Amino acid sequence: MTLFWQIAIGLGALAIWEWGWALHDKVPWLVPDILDPYFVSKPSEIYRQFLRMGCLVSSQGDWTLGTPGAFEKCIGRSENNLWIATYFTLKNTLWGFATGVSSGFVLGLLLGRSDRLSEIFYPYITAFNSIPRIALAPIIILAFGIGDASKIVTAWLVVVFLVFFNTFEGARAVDRDHINAARLLGAGEWQVTRTVIVPSTMAWLFASLTPAVSFSLIGVIVGEFIGAEHGIGRMIIEAEARGEAAGMMVAVFVLMIVGVILAAGVRRIQAYLLRWRPASTMAT
């Protein structure tokens, strides 16, 4: 039943998008201006544009997959076609995610377990955290150039704080009794860290992974908006410059798919690594 409504709503929205504008001249009060295909294109047009941008049909309108070599030729013609752009965006997102998560985790652990360090760094962290990270993107592009590095740094910057704060909280919340139990069972300082503090902090880290991967993608796209050679963000900017609503929409849809796949992947890893938690507290 739920599925029925989900499909019905989806099809309904697509139908309004596709044909709604046709009613605009007759009943203008019913159809808002935003449905103008000049801004939002139309599903059918977006689909055709997707086939062209993805080199699935040639400029003549034939399927490339039927003709040997046609697909490669089409791909070779452009510096930033759909596949290359997706590859670069995905790659930089994952790098930003990986570096942000690992450095945020280590920093959070260090400061969370040391009252001295956390006292010293507290004002700096609060100050930095008050800056909207995206505001730094132009500076980063200036400093690191328009290549991959600047995108990774931007993504890292948005991810690292999120992960840091979660890990920090988690490191403070480690159960004293677990530490005592480990000590009395013979654990030394380092063994306590490795076998108690890290695993119990992990639970908090994981709670931040799903937002972290989305943040990383946002960081990369913003970086690409400002200056890039490849990537879906650049693709959107180019389409905008040519006034191609369909092109922008294709890029947005690809981003949506990328985002869904990344989030689902992270959730699977998370569910596996947190399998020891009782089902009722799996909410995060």
Partner 1 sequence: MQNTPPRSRIEIDRLRKIFLAEGREVVAVDDASFRIDDGEFVALLGPSGCGKSTILNMVATLIAPNGGAIRVDDAPVVPGRPIAQVGYVFQKDTLFPWRTVEGNIGYALELAGVPTGERKTRVAEAIHQAGLDGFDRFYPASLSGGMRQRVSLMRTLIARPEILLMDEPFGALDTHTKLDMHSVLLSLWERERQTVLFVTHDLGEALTLADRIILMSARPGRVKADFKVDFPRPRDAVKLRETPQYAELFSKVWHSLGEEFAKGRSA
- Rule CB under 8 A: which residues touch partner 1? 175, 177-178, 180-187, 191, 195-196, 199-200, 202-203, 275-278
**Contact in structure between 263 and 214 (CB atoms under 8 Å):** yes
Residue closer to partner 1 by CB (options 67, 191) is 191
Task: Find the shortest distance in angstroms from Cβ 268 to partner 1.
Answer: 18
Kindly state the tokens that stand for 77. Answer: 């013609």
Cβ-Cβ contacts under 8 Å for 258 (sequence gap 6 or more): 86, 89, 90, 93, 217, 232
Task: Find the shortest distance in angstroms from Cβ 202 to partner 1.
Answer: 8
Task: Find the shortest distance in angstroms from Cβ 181 to partner 1.
Answer: 4
Residue closer to partner 1 by CB (options 25, 177) is 177
Residue closer to partner 1 by CB (options 84, 187) is 187
- Count of beta carbons in the 10 Å neighbourhood of residue 25: 8
**Contact in structure between 79 and 50 (CB atoms under 8 Å):** no
- Count of beta carbons in the 10 Å neighbourhood of residue 54: 18
Task: Find the shortest distance in angstroms from Cβ 171 to partner 1.
Answer: 15
* Angle, CA 192 vertex, CA 187 and CA 196 arms, to 5°: 125
Residue closer to partner 1 by CB (options 260, 271) is 271
Q: Which of 276, 220, 14, 11 is nearest to 100 (CA)?
A: 220
Q: Which of 51, 97, 81 is nearest to 232 (CA)?
A: 81
Residue closer to partner 1 by CB (options 25, 189) is 189
Task: Find the shortest distance in angstroms from Cβ 245 to partner 1.
Answer: 50
Residue closer to partner 1 by CB (options 203, 262) is 203
Q: Is 56 helix (H, G, I), strand (E, B) or coil?
A: coil
d(CA 202, CA 77): 46
Q: Which of 51, 44, 53 is nearest to 21 (CA)?
A: 44
Task: Find the shortest distance in angstroms from Cβ 284 to partner 1.
Answer: 15
